[in-house]
């Protein structure tokens, strides 16, 4: 079984040495870049094959937010984790809007980092096993979970991130039922905490935007409980 290949971008020499050493001892292959410009070179390579990206936010030149944007332009599936000393809510939300999967605030424990990496790597390898879940009609949309595609009528399909696709699959499977926030977070994110709850809100907003062409489709917020996914029928 091949080792997972991580892109690790960190300009702090001491921190990066310790972190990279521990990741390699944990059987990961690590490509380390000490600044955003070097990371861009790796991202722009035709054979981009990283299994997960660890990005510091505060980098000289090109920051972590821009790197995440470039990665998502090229690859919608690879998990992105931000490593940052920034704990402001707006900074976290900005990263999540760009397609990041989670934040780890410095200083962090190596054990926590490795556990999070393993969780995202496992989750990203999950693929639907039954053809019944491969293709789904949602109002005027066609949703293909395995291909991460959402298509409105005959228009060009939209490519979803793995997390967006998993969330849409979960909500639409429980159509007309209330999906509790905690259950969604445990199922899709693997844990339930405040900042992941904010991440869920960002992803819900994205799905509403993607589904807005069909006014029959609604993702209603049930205050203090969760969300209800509804597709109104035409009599």
Residue range 194-207: mean pLDDT, rounded: 85
Q: Given a cut of 80, is residue 220 above it in pLDDT? A: yes
Whole-number Å distance between alpha carbons of 72 and 200: 18
Listed residue (53, 68, 45) closest to 9, CA to CA: 53
pLDDT in tens, 120-173: 888 766 444 444 445 788 989 999 888 889 999 889 999 888 888 889 998 988
* Range with the poorest average pLDDT among 66-75, 80-89, 126-135, 153-162: 126-135
Total Cβ atoms within 10 A of residue 61: 12
Supply angle C-alpha 195, 167, 155, rounded to 5.
125
**Domains recognised in the chain with CATH numbers:** 5-124 (3.40.50.2300), 131-231 (1.10.10.10)
């Amino acid at each position: 079984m091949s080792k997972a290949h991580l892109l690790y971008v960190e300009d702090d020499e001491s921190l990066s040495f310790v972190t990279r050493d521990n990741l390699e001892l944990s059987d990961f292959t690590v490509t380390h870049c000490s600044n955003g410009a070097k990371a861009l070179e790796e991202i722009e390579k035709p054979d981009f094959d990283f299994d997960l990206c660890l990005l510091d936010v505060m980098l000289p030149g090109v920051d972590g937010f821009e790197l995440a944007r470039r990665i998502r332009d090229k690859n919608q599936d690879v998990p992105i984790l931000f490593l940052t000393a920034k704990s402001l809510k707006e900074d976290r939300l900005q990263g999540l809007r760009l397609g990041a999967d989670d934040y780890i605030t410095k200083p962090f424990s190596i054990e926590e980092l490795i556990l999070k990496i393993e969780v995202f790597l496992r989750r990203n390898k999950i693929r639907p096993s039954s053809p019944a879940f491969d293709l789904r009609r949602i109002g005027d949309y066609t949703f293909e979970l395995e291909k991460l595609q959402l298509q409105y009528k005959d228009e060009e399909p939209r490519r979803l991130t793995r997390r967006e696709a998993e969330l849409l699959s979960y909500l639409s499977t429980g159509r007309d039922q209330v999906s509790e926030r905690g259950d969604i977070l445990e199922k899709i994110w693997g844990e339930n905490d405040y900042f992941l709850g904010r991440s869920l809100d960002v992803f819900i907003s994205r799905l509403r935007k993607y589904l807005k062409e069909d006014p029959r489709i609604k993702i209603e917020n049930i205050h203090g409980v969760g969300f209800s996914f509804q597709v109104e029928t035409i009599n």
